[in-house]
Chain A
Amino acid sequence: MPLTRKLKTLLLCSLSVILISCGNSEKENGPVVIRYWEKWNGFEADAMRLIVDDFNASQDEIFVEYSSVSQIDRRLMLAIAGGIPPDVAGLWNHALPVYAENNALTPLNRYTEAAGIGREDYISIYWDMCTHRNYLWALPSTPASTALIYNKKMFREAGLDPERPPRSIAELEAYNAKLMKRDESGRLIACGHIPAEPGWWSPNWVYWFGGDLWDGAETITADSPENIEAYRWVQSYPERFGARDLMSFKDGFGNFASPQNPFFTGRVAMVLQGPWIYNFIKNYAPEDFEWGVAPFPSVNPELFPNVTLVESDILVIPAGAEHPDEAFAFIQFVNSQVEMEKLCLAQRKFSPLAETSAGFFEEHPNPYIGEFIDLAKSPQAKTLPGTTVWSLYANEMRQAFGSVWTQTATTEEVLSEVQIRMQENFDHRARRWKRMEETLLTEWEKP
């Protein structure tokens, strides 16, 4: 029957098209092509492109195919689950524990040992944040630390010494009182500092009060006395300035990456930010914007000096990557002093390596880059909790922050709720780990 024959031909044709397109396009005897996914776009992506080009030019065995991928943490998860992961991926350090514990990454210990790379080569906190359950899962790419960034002009106008930023929370609040401005109708138009701007690290204010979010082992410490003190400080804002006034004030803020950023428009004089702020000031702040950098003040500068929250972009090799050896060769190349400094300079950050060349500081356009490095080396430098429940925990703490900020609940109430909920979740994850532990540890030991 002609119809059936035609159908058969059609089916065969489509099948062969599918088969051909699924085939391996890699050329034989050519360089090994490795795929590298990175979350950056814009100038940060361009900076990495320079390094990739250097690597591709430096040898002809391996060719890195570099692509910028949005929502990389979710896509990477699906790519790994689907069995088609890239060979190298650029993640954030806070995503590492959950990826590692789900057996989604390749342990790097064997590689770093063979290459003679060790903790002593890095600012130690960046090496430590790449480890989980005693295995090394990543190497840092571009790191950051956070500091108090302040508007000198606003300080001068309020009669404050622009070279003398606040050194304790008490001083910060004294400055705040002087910098706070209202218009005739009573609407807030400027302030010294509010803990909700930009609001990225609302769970982490506890670090500046000597608090922590977990004990590093089995206990969540959301409602520790130090954390309660920190959130009481947050609660004091709506009490002092009015919850509705603060909400309406904050609603008037423009986007972070825009000239309407409240820090650039003179609505907020002091913010907690990282070294990247240099780029945003350069791109969006007025020409005559004068700024300074200092450690963000803690509640007790004698006990807790130079407190900072440290984060890092990291490079990982997903589990099931086709060319892990070549992938590590590339990661190692990025982590050489010359290339790392080139990358971090182009991204206006600092190098995570223990040694930084003198030329790096000379060339760096950010005059305060040294302060960020010093903070990263501080014994009071803190990281986001290295636990698999962090994203849920962070959300719970943000909700708690919101309730305190809008005065719908008290600090003690919300933090004890978070404590109960998170400990339950944490225990659930601990059970999941116990079930998998033996299998995973054996697998990670395999060469």
Chain B
Amino acid sequence: MTRMEKKKLISGLLFISPWILGFLIFSVYPVLSSLYYSFCDYSVLSPAVWVGPENYHTLFNDEVFWKSISNTVFFAAFAIPMGMVLSLSLAILLNCKVPFRGAFRTIFFLPSLVPMVCLAVLWQWMLNGDLGLINNAIRPLLNTVNENFGTQLTAPNWLQEAAYAKWGLIFTGLWGVGHAVVIYLAGLQGVPQHLYESAEIDGAGFWVKTRHITLPIISPVIYFNTIMGLIGTFQVFAVPYVMTGGGDGPERSLLFMATYLYQNAFDYWNMGYACAIGIVMFVIILTLTYIATKLSERHVYYEGK
């Protein structure tokens, strides 16, 4: 390395030093220290005491932790595909040349601007078993069914019954798909028009064009949204936390991994245990992302490659 190069390197490093420092102090250090604390009995205020893998041992035998994992997986398994289908369909529709297209786009994007906490409070009332708008809409339907088929169906108490609580949360999440729609729209606009034109000449209809042109071309966008969705749903916290008033929901049906982590860290003074949960969460998300990447290798098409 010449003197000039060295100088350039130093000034280059100096220029990016805010980022490097930030990364080291706010990302690397917390991750490493939480790895260390996950092997300690640590209550934040008392000094940490090394206990070896005890936290992990307790964790794997902790039914509540398994419940939080199964809740999280259930939520992800439905929220991600449903969100993807809905946002992609909306994006394709909003990409059509229809009058007031801009207005429609704005309307579908607006809900995702509502802050998480407001969203949770709003949907708490939407899903209210007695006065909620959802149940007000369902009741006449159920009454008609009951009259015609002699059934005894009643509208559910969404957030008070374990069987419905997670569905309530999934619907709440679908209301905020605006961000994904915008990303899909951007992807859709990058699809070369000449491909559609030549397909049309060959007599392709809407479905064929979508299946063989649109989806392959925007596959990197779908992949991106899937990974973001995966990370987002595995870290779901604010909305269920607000909806349940900081609790776990009926039968712990709204207890997610992040909620359990938070409770252990800040309510139960088990920071060591909370760190262990965090590490397990990290490993799960990392593994799933890796699997998603591997699986998508064959299906994601990058034009530049």
Contacts and interface: CB of A to CB of B under 8 A. Distances in A.
Given A251-B157, A252-B130, A77 B162 contact: no
B266 A77 contact: yes
Interface string B43-70: 1111001000000000000000000000
Given A103-B45, A392-B267, A247 B247 contact: no
A164 interface: no
B11 A391 contact: no
Most buried by A among B11, B45, B266: B45
B112 interface: no
B129 A247 contact: yes
Contact of B157 (A80, A248, A391): A248
Interface in B252-305: 252, 263, 266-269
B130 A81 contact: no
B208 interface: no
Contacts of B266: 74, 77
B250 interface: yes
B254 to A, nearest CB: 11
Contact of B160 (A4, A395, A406): A406
Chain B interface main SS type: loop
Given A7-B14, A388-B269, A247 B160 contact: yes
Interface string A4-44: 10010000000000000000000000000000000000000
Contact of B45 (A81, A389, A398): A81
Contacts of B44: 77-78, 81, 102
Contact of B46 (A4, A250, A391, A436): A436
A247 B161 contact: yes
A402 B251 contact: yes
A80 B45 CA distance: 7
A4 B8 CA distance: 11
Contacts, number: 76
Contacts of B11: 3-4, 7
B144 interface: no
B45 A77 contact: yes
A74 B161 CA distance: 30
B27 interface: no
Nearest to A388: B269
Contacts of B157: 244, 247-248, 251
A98 B252 CA distance: 25
B268 A406 contact: no
Interface string B1-32: 00000010001001000000000000000000
A55 interface: no
B189 interface: no
A309 to B, nearest CB: 20
A279 interface: no
A389 B251 CA distance: 21
A89 B266 CA distance: 18
B154 A399 contact: no
Contacts of A80: 45
A249 interface: yes
A435 interface: yes
A74 B45 CA distance: 12
Contacts of A251: 128-132, 157, 160
A104 interface: yes
B161 A406 contact: yes
Contacts of B132: 251
Contacts of B252: 399
B179 to A, nearest CB: 29
A395 B130 contact: no
Contacts of B41: 432
Nearest to B162: A408
Interface in A243-257: 244, 247-252
Interface string A288-331: 00000000000000000000000000000000000000000000
13 contacts: A74-B266, A77-B45, A78-B44, A247-B129, A250-B160, A251-B128, A251-B129, A251-B132, A251-B160, A252-B128, A391-B267, A399-B251, A406-B160
Interface of A: 1, 3-4, 7, 74, 77-78, 80-81, 98-99, 102-104, 244, 247-252, 388-389, 391-392, 395, 398-399, 402-403, 406, 408, 432, 435-436
Task: List 9 tightest A-B contacts by C-beta distance, closest first.
Answer: A252-B130, A251-B129, A102-B45, A247-B157, A251-B130, A104-B45, A247-B160, A392-B268, A248-B129
